[in-house]
Structure 1
Amino acid sequence: MSDQTETKFSVLCSLFTWIQRSKSSSKKRSKFRKFLDNFCKSTDDFFAAIRLILPSLDRERGTYGLKESVLSTCLIDALGVSRESEDALRLINWRKGGAKTGANAGNFSLVAIELLQRRQGMASGGLTIKELNRLLDRLASSENRTEKTLVLSELIKGTNAQEMKWIVMIILKDLKLGVSEKSIFHEFHPDAEDLFNVTCDLKLVCEKLKDRNQRHKRQDIEVGKAVRPQLALRVGNATTAWKKLHGKEVVVECKFDGDRIQIHKNGSEIHFFSRNFLDHPEYEHGMSNIIMQNILADRCILDGEMLVWDTSNNRFADFGSNQEIAKAAREGLDSDRQLCYTSVIHQSLKERHEILRKVVKPLKGRLEILIPNGGLNAQCPSGEPYWSRIAYNVEEVERFFKATIENRVVYAFSKSGSTTSSRDEGIVLKDLNSKWEPSDRSGKWLKLKPDYVRAGSDLDVLIIGGYYGSGRRGGEVAQFLVGLAEGSAPNTYPRRFISFCRVGTGLSDDELDALVTKLKPYFRKNEYPKKTPSYYEVTNSSKERPDVWIESPEKSIILSITSDIRTIRSEVFAAPYSLRFPRIDRVRYDKPWHECLDVQCKNFFVWVTHTRNFLLLSFRFSEGEKRLNNGLMTSN
């Protein structure tokens, strides 16, 4: 076909179905190649199809603002179905199992098909790829649910249920085809992945590489276009890291716990790109003047870490406070916390360090450079380890790692009972003679993190609720809401439990099945907004709210959990603090329900102090500035 308007979306759906069912990677790639050869004859054809095949990489279209919870109600309204009907409730509660939910519980698109099949014909409505893209553009630009519902209604009229299934998956940006982005790029053009890595522009890739037989000269990075960042390969210990970099000149650096941001300066034009190549204009008010005044190069790209600097405590603030401070700066509000950027292609890392010295004027708490000789190191208080240094042997790497994780912890209870700690989450080792390569994770950079360090004593928590899973765990409880006991009178059992965190990983399938089987007789449906069981203190945040409660603490089971080293002040859960990335260490069938940790007792304080250098159970609140960790420069 020569005209894209004649290519029906049903053709693409047939391709999706065939690829999803095939088990052979080579056959999947071959089928995709045949589709391109037969149905894509122009640049517009290529882009129209590939943006649907790789929806998560399409930045021409804005975000839809539709996750499963909102999408379900919009689909129900688009079909004109009562939200109280059995079909509607099945879609709204798509994760939940039970006699009436069917075999597809946990798979949103398949549950949606059940609803759509009863109301759509089997024949295709003839929607073309071009028409679909136009409607998806409208869906993304719609400003409210009413407008989105109208667009979905048009889509339903032009498709059948099978086609709508794939449209739903495109909207959710997860086609589950079992074929990698790398394979799709390679079949389209041998140079497609490289070009996308340095431009993050799917449309440009389709425009420049429409002839698969014509090789494309490797393109340099361009100021103003997001670049996929260089990545660090994770290693388990310092010895492994040193072996991988054997014979290299190595620098070790703190791994800051902030947001990876590229700052693009092109004269007076400044962009702030995330690692997902989205521009973040909310940083402009807090950082643009700093960049203009302190970056001497007219055109450059800085690749680093955006953090928050607490000027009152002279330290970096908690993870997750960037957006709050950016908003305060935008609204002109005073704060002793400010955005701070810490900074690190054709030249080696050692040469880029020297360029940073020449073109960046560091400003304490606002713009910092991370280099082994000077930069942020010059501000280290006496007795504290440097943020960056040259390492000459594995022993020096191990000492730096230990000092970074342990010695930077400041564990000091304030009058309010809060604690503080630094913003480190491990270390990064880099080959000083390596060049900066977009999306490279070949081992030129290595990261070492103490994420799951075992505490000296157990953190035993009580299961108080459960969440239904998705995919193969659909229809069954797969995660748990856990709580800590509220203080009780001596020689009495606790009668109230405070929500602490949500946890689901760490158990094998068999262990999880056994636990759920024991608890299932005591699951009680959460009928929010009806009253929460009196045993439990919760926030009723949508992120906390479980699908089922344990009917009574006496019927529940204790879990021993562990966590990574970073913790957060909790707004989602009723406890004043929570864990980041908790996981189950073991199920404590040997412990009675009332022996879980008491949030107010001495044992909990002992657990915190014993693990303060590792699990950082911090009650801190402070915020500040953003920093760039690895300056990436282009010539003027």
Structure 2
Amino acid sequence: MQDAAAREEEALQYGHSDLTEEQLDEKYPNRPHNHSKTLPFHALFEDLFNPLIDNRKKPTGPPIARKKQGPHGPHALTSNEARRNIIERFISRWRQQVGNDIYSAFRLIIPEKDRERGMYGLKEKAIGKLLVRVMKIDKNSTDGYNLLNWKLPGNQTHSAMTGDFAGRCYEVLSKRPLRTEVGNMTIAEVNELLDRLSVAQKEENQLPIFEEFYKRMNSEELMWLVRMILRQMKVGATEKTFFDIWHPDAENLFNVSSSLRRVCWELSDPAISLGNEDKGVHLMQCFQPQLAAFQMRSIEKMVVRMRPTEDDDEFWIEEKLDGERMQLHMVEDDDVPGGMRFNFWSRKAKDYTYLYGNGFEDQNAALTRHIKGAFNDGVRSIILDGEMITWDPQEDAVVPFGTLKTAALSEQRNPFSTGQRPLLRVFDCLYLNDRVLTNYTLRDRRKALERSINPIHRRLEIHSYSSAHKAAEVEPLLREVVAEASEGLVLKNPRSVYRLNERNDDWMKVKPEYMTEFGEALDCIIVGGYYGSGHRGGRLSSFLCGLRVDQNQAQQSGTPMKTYSFCKVGGGFTAQDYANIRHYTDSKWHDWDAKRPPTEFVELGGGDRQYERPDVWIRPDESVVIAIKAASVGPTDQFRTNMTLRFPRFKRLRSDKDWQSALSLNEFLQLKNNAEKERTEKQFEVDQSRRKAPRKTRKKAMTVVGNNEVVKKPYAGPETKVLEGLNFFVMTESVSPWKKSRAELEQLVKANGGKIVQSQTAADNVVCIADRKTVPVASIIKRGDRSLVRPSWLFDCIEQSEVDSGRPVFLLPLEPKYLFFVAEKDEGLYEKNVDEFGDSYVRDVTTSELREIFKNIDADSKSFQGRDVLKQMEQHDIEMGDLPGWIFQGLVVYFDTASFTNCSKRIIAFGKGRVADDLHDMSITHIVVDQTDSRSRDVRKKIQNRSPLPRLVTLAWLQESWKEKTRLDEERFAPT
């Protein structure tokens, strides 16, 4: 029987729901109601969190001392059993003292899984500012400074809290608490205030809520509250453990619904299991989609893993789309204008129906009002799986990732514009006319899709695929997507069923950058340092590395010791490596002053914006050189070199080199060009017999230019040699940005080193210049075999060389804005020279260009969702290698050593790796051997013909990597 206090608390707790109490009961008819008020908030950490943390700190291996009665008498509890007992006791107490509705507690226990409550828009520094105001302390005082600069070493008593923001909050709050004993706030009351906090957004609205918490909680309660707001619990138990103990089907239901509320309300009775019909997809209910597995070492192995048969060896190849995974649900509904009701959800269960539309007649829809004829007659209900991308009608091309929401909002406001718009590319059908199709093969689901959909051009389309039977058929398509600057490919098994929330061998993605590693160990100078958090708190845990500016350039600028920021590296260091770096650099670090940056020694990206600003810096002649490994090089505006390393990792300290022996900018460019040339020749080799002999051309060396803060001046026309060695066919006058006749343009070319020809075939390497569509220009466009360049490119190249007169002359890379016409063979070639907003990587923008760039940037900060960042990281394969649970991701390890233990096997599995049972497994990447010459030689003979060769390491590599919580360089642990 529910008492009055429990009813009042329940109304308070769910008062911020989008549904009324009556609607909640209607939607969840088996929803449990608690008979008493929820437990006090402090019960969470006293009875659950602190015991779990204490259990986690106990050494693994030997059982802990407590005894448990088994079928054959008492036995010692393992750490895992003790963890389950702690959680079971808390849940049992909740059922007895509160009731079967544990939703309010789970929202605080595993807050990262609560998708009903919006993001708070608060990170560590914002919370620190609020606490400084709540406690009414000076932000420049010791405690105020420590809160706002929580990563830096402070003057706190307990240095273990350095780098732990919640711990730092506890230290400061415990000095000036309003309460010394735990408060009387219930779990329901805390949830109600957190609901208000999630919609407050602005600091002035958030401050009263924090003041309420401060009045009613002691310092330990506030510390746990901060962890919940940041969604960084780290209590020694995963959500899977909590789900499994709550109900055997809890994890399954969460995977197909993404709803913590459903898990708690529909599975409140452990004796009642989900039926098979409840474990799959449901119409108008979000589910977790199937995902594509990461690529293995070779395409041949990927094709074999798709289990081809003699009768059916077919596999499908799809282009990997650069957008947002989206599921569309549609059902007949007479209450909706147009007769059909829609819902849209992203992969992370965010509801986008408000954006893309709930019906054909929805006047705020960015999509549904444009797809009225997309569904065949007879389609009463359907679920489609696809990718929402941004399409530019003017360019008739996909726009890179990051512009989707801006395009959708623009389409809402003006549905008849010719600007960018959302386009749904569908590749699967999972539900049709009340029938679930997930257990049908992909081939059958595709037939259902094609018979149900009438594609609407550039609004809703069926994603195309190519049928293949051999691995060799993949590379030509991969070459195509590289030329078009696409994301990559996805290989699919047409014999496979659809598996919710899984990555498996039926779908595998292939990305061009996976084909080879960068392969160079680069000797860079440490020029800055960043303080770490967690176990690295209070110490420098990552470093800013720079490239030495070549001596002649540095002397011309009057700063002979100048470096350009190049990359940030924090992985691969052991405790001894950190100690060695400290030994060589101790007492030589300086605090970074943003108002007076040390530009005579190091320049950052972004000019005055100071991108990747370090906490401390060091002079190059007092610093050390380290060797860095990387997967590839990519353009960026975050570093002064305008490029950086992708997935950099520390290899070793180069104590044999000083700063003058480190890599210079020009030396790196040469290494980069050589690596790219070798990669192209090796991975995308074509049949040379089909190609015509290449013409001899003169190529200009490219110089990387940073973001000099200079004042742009109008072009005046002085002479340079920037066009030397190039031939130009000037076809029309210049229309913009300046009016110039053909004769004036030709004179301009000659004055700056170029040569004028009178036809496109008069010489090799002719650049055709055009700014109007005349008859000769139209003739070239009709043939489609040659790109045409606007005169504005000439002006900007000359102007850039005048401004940077102290540097070697260089040609600006071609960008889309410089092309009057793009030949088919050049499509997608020039987009890589600008970012997603059209901003050049090497050229300063003008005021008018900056205005256009700002128009393409979504400034709606309220729409920010932290979990969307994780989605983007996964979609773009951002490395997670510095997390203990990811350090062996993608590795397949074989143990050929008597020292092998089950513990080693568990370490590999926990680090996202896989243990191979047979040395003949062709996917093996690493082989662990004994430290003996004879055994190593035997293994090398067995694998000598493999390509690529697996790495041979000793067991110390595994043990030290796990100890240091980072994957260490294998060469340091090769058997002798």
- TM-score scaled to structure 2, two decimals? 0.55
For 2:384, the aligned partner's letter is: L
For 2:129, the aligned partner's letter is: T
Deviates more, 1:344-353 or 1:532-541: 532-541
The answer as to whether partners of 1:113 and 1:161 remain within 8 angstroms in 2 is yes
Q: Decide which structure has the larger Cα Rg and report it.
A: 2
1: CA distance between counterparts of 2:666 and 2:368?
44
Asked which structure has the greater RCO (Cα within 8 Å, sep 6+), the reply is: 1
Equivalent pairs: percent with the same residue?
A: 28
Partner residue of 2:131 out of 67, 75, 86: 75
Tell me the residue number matched to 2:536: 473
Residues 247-396 of structure 1 mapped to structure 2, 5 A cutoff: 247=308, 250-266=315-331, 269-280=341-352, 281=354, 286-296=366-376, 297=379, 299-309=381-391, 315-326=397-408, 328-329=410-411, 332=414, 337-344=420-427, 345-362=438-455, 366-370=459-463, 375=464, 377=465, 388-391=466-469, 396=470
Q: Tell me the alpha carbon deviations over residues 338-391 of structure 1, each in whole angstroms, 9 at most, x when there is no partner.
A: 444332224221112112222334456554433xxxx2x5xxxxxxxxxx4333
Partner residue of 1:237 out of 297, 316, 324: 297
The answer as to whether partners of 1:191 and 1:216 remain within 8 angstroms in 2 is yes
The answer as to whether partners of 1:4 and 1:40 remain within 8 angstroms in 2 is no
1: CA distance between counterparts of 2:618 and 2:580?
16
Distance 1:326-1:526 versus aligned 2 partners, 3 A rule: farther
Deviates more, 1:352-361 or 1:192-201: 352-361
Distance 1:21-1:496 versus aligned 2 partners, 3 A rule: same
2: CA distance between counterparts of 1:278 and 1:191?
23
Partner residue of 2:285 out of 225, 233, 247: 225
Distance 1:19-1:457 versus aligned 2 partners, 3 A rule: closer
Deviates more, 1:467-476 or 1:25-34: 25-34
Deviates more, 1:481-490 or 1:223-232: 481-490
Distance 1:148-1:354 versus aligned 2 partners, 3 A rule: same
Distance 1:361-1:499 versus aligned 2 partners, 3 A rule: farther
The answer as to whether partners of 1:496 and 1:537 remain within 8 angstroms in 2 is no
SS of the residue corresponding to residue 291 of structure 2 reads coil
The answer as to whether partners of 2:570 and 2:650 remain within 8 angstroms in 1 is yes
For 1:214, the aligned partner's letter is: I
The alpha-carbon deviation at position 95 of structure 1 amounts to 1.4
Tell me the residue number matched to 1:119: 176
For 1:354, the aligned partner's letter is: K
1:9 aligns with 2:102: no
The answer as to whether partners of 1:452 and 1:564 remain within 8 angstroms in 2 is no
1: CA distance between counterparts of 2:403 and 2:675?
23
Residues 236-635 of structure 1 mapped to structure 2, 5 A cutoff: 236-238=296-298, 239-247=300-308, 250-266=315-331, 269-280=341-352, 281=354, 286-296=366-376, 297=379, 299-309=381-391, 315-326=397-408, 328-329=410-411, 332=414, 337-344=420-427, 345-362=438-455, 366-370=459-463, 375=464, 377=465, 388-391=466-469, 396-397=470-471, 400=474, 402-410=475-483, 422-425=485-488, 427-449=489-511, 450-451=513-514, 453-455=516-518, 461-485=524-548, 489=552, 495-535=561-601, 536-539=603-606, 541=609, 544-552=612-620, 555-563=623-631, 567=634, 569-570=636-637, 572-578=638-644, 580-584=646-650, 587-594=653-660, 595-598=662-665, 603=670, 606-607=673-674, 609-610=676-677, 618-621=832-835
In structure 1, list runs of 5 or more residues that go unmatched: 378-387, 411-420, 626-636
2: CA distance between counterparts of 1:491 and 1:63?
48
Tell me the residue number matched to 2:51: 18
The answer as to whether partners of 2:621 and 2:658 remain within 8 angstroms in 1 is no
1:55 aligns with 2:135: no
Tell me the residue number matched to 1:629: none
The answer as to whether partners of 1:498 and 1:537 remain within 8 angstroms in 2 is yes
Tell me the residue number matched to 1:204: 262
Distance 1:252-1:75 versus aligned 2 partners, 3 A rule: same
The answer as to whether partners of 1:310 and 1:622 remain within 8 angstroms in 2 is no
2: CA distance between counterparts of 1:11 and 1:542?
46
The alpha-carbon deviation at position 612 of structure 1 amounts to 7.1
1: CA distance between counterparts of 2:181 and 2:545?
48
The alpha-carbon deviation at position 608 of structure 1 amounts to 7.1
Tell me the residue number matched to 2:435: none
Tell me the residue number matched to 1:193: 251
2: CA distance between counterparts of 1:404 and 1:480?
39
Deviates more, 1:205-214 or 1:91-100: 91-100
2: CA distance between counterparts of 1:29 and 1:134?
29
Distance 1:603-1:29 versus aligned 2 partners, 3 A rule: same
The answer as to whether partners of 2:624 and 2:655 remain within 8 angstroms in 1 is no
The answer as to whether partners of 2:288 and 2:347 remain within 8 angstroms in 1 is yes
Q: Tell me the alpha carbon deviations over residues 412-460 of structure 1, each in whole angstroms, 9 at most, x when there is no partner.
A: xxxxxxxxx52224x4443323222221235443445554832365555
Q: Tell me the alpha carbon deviations over residues 79-138 of structure 1, each in whole angstroms, 9 at most, x when there is no partner.
A: 222211111211221112366582211111111110111122431111111111111111
The answer as to whether partners of 1:106 and 1:471 remain within 8 angstroms in 2 is yes
Q: Tell me the alpha carbon deviations over residues 186-238 of structure 1, each in whole angstroms, 9 at most, x when there is no partner.
A: 11111111211222111122111111111121314234332112223335323
The answer as to whether partners of 2:305 and 2:505 remain within 8 angstroms in 1 is yes
The answer as to whether partners of 2:391 and 2:423 remain within 8 angstroms in 1 is yes
Cα RMSD (Å) of the superposition?
A: 3.7
Distance 1:33-1:313 versus aligned 2 partners, 3 A rule: same
The alpha-carbon deviation at position 583 of structure 1 amounts to 3.9
The answer as to whether partners of 1:264 and 1:300 remain within 8 angstroms in 2 is yes
Distance 1:204-1:469 versus aligned 2 partners, 3 A rule: same
The answer as to whether partners of 1:256 and 1:424 remain within 8 angstroms in 2 is yes
SS of the residue corresponding to residue 5 of structure 1 reads coil
The alpha-carbon deviation at position 509 of structure 1 amounts to 4.5
Name the count of aligned residue pairs. 592
Deviates more, 1:277-286 or 1:47-56: 277-286
- TM-score scaled to structure 1, two decimals? 0.81
2: CA distance between counterparts of 1:93 and 1:452?
42
Deviates more, 1:579-588 or 1:138-147: 579-588
The alpha-carbon deviation at position 47 of structure 1 amounts to 0.5
1: CA distance between counterparts of 2:544 and 2:632?
18
The answer as to whether partners of 2:326 and 2:345 remain within 8 angstroms in 1 is yes
2: CA distance between counterparts of 1:538 and 1:286?
37
The alpha-carbon deviation at position 176 of structure 1 amounts to 0.4
Partner residue of 1:110 out of 167, 184, 195: 167
2: CA distance between counterparts of 1:574 and 1:282?
38
The alpha-carbon deviation at position 504 of structure 1 amounts to 2.1
1: CA distance between counterparts of 2:269 and 2:400?
49
Distance 1:126-1:340 versus aligned 2 partners, 3 A rule: same
SS of the residue corresponding to residue 139 of structure 1 reads helix
Tell me the residue number matched to 1:215: 273
In structure 2, list runs of 5 or more residues that go unmatched: 1-5, 7-33, 57-78, 333-339, 358-364, 428-437, 685-828, 839-855, 857-976
